[in-house]
Amino acid sequence: MNKPLSPLETAPEELAQDPDAAARAWLAALERRNLIDGALIEAPAGMEVTEPARMTPLGQAAASGPQEVDAAVQAAARAQAQWAATPARARGKLVAEAGRRLALQAEPIARLLARETGKALRTECRGELAVAADLLEFYGGLGSELKGETIPFDPKTLSVTTLEPLGVVAAILPWNVPLVLMTLKIAPALVAGNTVVVKAAEEAPFATLAAAAILDQVLPRGVVNVVVGDGLECGAPLTNHPKVAKITFTGSEEVGETVYGAGADRIIPVSLELGGKSPMIVCADADLDKTVTGAIGGMRFTRQGQSCTAASRIYVHRTLYDAFLAQLSARLEELVIGDPLDEATDVGTIVSATQKATVDRYVALAEATPGATVLKIGKLPTQGVAPDLFMQPTLLLNLPETSPCVQEEIFGPVCVIQAWDDYDTVIEAANATRYGLAATIWTRDIGLALDASRRVNAGYVQVNQNLTIQPNLSYGGFGRSGLGKEASLEAMVAHFTRNKTIVLAGM
């Protein structure tokens, strides 16, 4: 049974007049649906999605299984040849147009995202929609850059390389920033001539489906498909499907290992963005005000720390340590924790009870560590919301470097802060985890900045800033943080094309 995309038929000015009503219309159109072959198809089974700020049912998502996955992959496979034959610049123009249309629907979809993830509308969800739309426009402009080379092999031959699409790409998303991570994956895949099947996160599928439906309105049917379901019944059939030619995954290390194994079994390319325990090194000459601001943004406190690039280990030179801690605590105290849809709110909720229990376990471990100090800062909301999944920004002090709280990704608003004296020792500490995703250095000394940037083991290093993913800046990590890069032209070519050599000789 198909359901009409009624929100897509609403004029932008009407959406602006009542974005809450538009968000409800999106939800009604998307409940228990997958996007397959240009239509919203009702799934035979559903699963409840909880609104974390209220701990009440938000709606029923599709609970897809192998049959729905196969239908989506078959649709993508049917559409791929014609899409690949479309000139690259034409593909890019369509993807860019989808970005512009997504921007027009940004407010209601941001509200839907806030309700399903618990992230604050003002500080997080609106920005995520803006970045997602920007990524579509950015990659849309790169169609003309899909170029091969001429090779000086033999003057009597014409030797060239060409870039070809891979085929059907499976894109598996997490729940923390689903729209940014979806567009990071599918925009380059589409411009390169691939078709895609997205597995949305079961905790937060509706905004993903809405954004994909906007793309589907612009692109040929079957080029973009979305299935919703859990890892066992939906994710595994997708990664193991014989017509999937490439897997791109963002999520946990454990699931990443399984996904990598599925790709290895069929010898297809896999890119992984798995996690991090990113260090922030504050040197003695750092600007204190800018550094504290960078710590709050870099730790993604307004996202409840639910970010793989979160600066969750902050090493502060001992001469600045007390002042840094005092100023950071005062600034965190000012953050408003509350209803994600309230314009006054800075910080929303943890996404789910399961994730909250994981974060609580690490905090309890720190509290039980001899000599450690746990600071919980800020006021929790008392009215209008359910208290279950709200959490204060939490600072862990005086922990040994061997503590799991220092070594493992917590994925919550929990930050370890350590004092340091010796430069070589702090570089060693910064590198002493299994991760290598991101790092920041804070100093006025350009020589020190260059040396630390070279020595720190991370794929994305910033000095005196702590930005999130940005279009045109290659992003990705080392070690257990994953394989491959995203967000750049080079990433599109490396991950979503294959290189063919052609040698032409006369008779």
Active-site entry in 308, 409, 415, 486: 308
Whether residue 273 lies in the annotated active site: yes
Kindly name the residue from 202, 273, 409, 486 that is annotated as catalytic: 273
The answer to whether 308 is a known catalytic residue is: yes
pLDDT at 12: 61
pLDDT at site 11: 64
User: What does the pLDDT profile of the chain (507 residues) look like in tens digits?
Assistant: 343 345 766 666 666 688 999 999 999 999 999 999 999 999 999 999 999 999 999 999 999 999 999 999 999 999 999 999 999 999 999 999 999 999 999 999 999 999 999 999 999 999 999 999 999 999 999 999 999 999 999 999 999 999 999 999 999 999 999 999 999 999 999 999 999 999 999 999 999 999 999 999 999 999 999 999 999 999 999 999 999 999 999 999 999 999 999 999 999 999 999 999 999 999 999 999 999 999 999 999 999 999 999 999 999 999 999 999 999 999 999 999 999 999 999 999 999 999 999 999 999 999 999 999 999 999 999 999 999 999 999 999 999 999 999 999 999 999 999 999 999 999 999 999 999 999 999 999 999 999 999 999 999 999 999 999 999 999 999 999 999 999 999 999 999 999 999 999 988
CA separation for the pair 142, 332 (Å, rounded): 41
CA distances from 387 to 49, 356, 438 (A): 18, 12, 32
Rounded-to-integer distance, Cα 229 and Cα 46, Å = 9
Q: How far is CA 431 from CA 165, 439, 460, in A?
A: 37, 10, 13
Cβ contact 348:118 at 8 Å: yes
pLDDT at residue number 15: 67
Q: Reduced to 3 states, what is the DSSP secondary structure of residue 447?
A: helix
Report the C-alpha gap between 308 and 247 in whole angstroms: 19
Taking CA atoms, 375 is separated from 45, 253, 325, 369, 396, in Å, by 44, 29, 10, 14, 7
Neighbours of 129 (CB within 10 A): 24
pLDDT at 378: 98
What's the pLDDT score for residue 6? 54
Q: What share of the chain is helix, strand, coil (3-state, %, to 5)?
A: 45, 20, 35
Strands (E), 243-386: 244-250, 270-273, 279-282, 313-317, 373-376
- pTM score of the predicted model: 0.96
CA atoms of 288 and 391, how far apart (whole Å) = 26
What are phi and psi for residue 279, nearest 5 degrees?
A: -85, 145
Q: What is the pLDDT of residue 4?
A: 38
SS3 sequence, 108-148? HHHHHHHHHHCCCHHHHHHHHHHHHHHHHHHHHCCHHHCCC
How many helices, marked H, and strands, marked E, lie in the chain? 17, 22
The two three-digit tokens of residue 256, written as one number: 């990443």
Distances in whole angstroms, Cα of residue 339 to Cα of each of 17, 42, 121, 345, 378: 22, 31, 9, 6, 15
Whose CA is closest to 465, among 444, 487, 488, 442?
Answer: 442
Nearest to 111 by CA among 343, 387, 337: 343
3-state secondary structure at position 39: strand
Q: How confident is the model at residue 5, as a pLDDT?
A: 42
Strand-pairing partners, residue 440, are: 280, 462
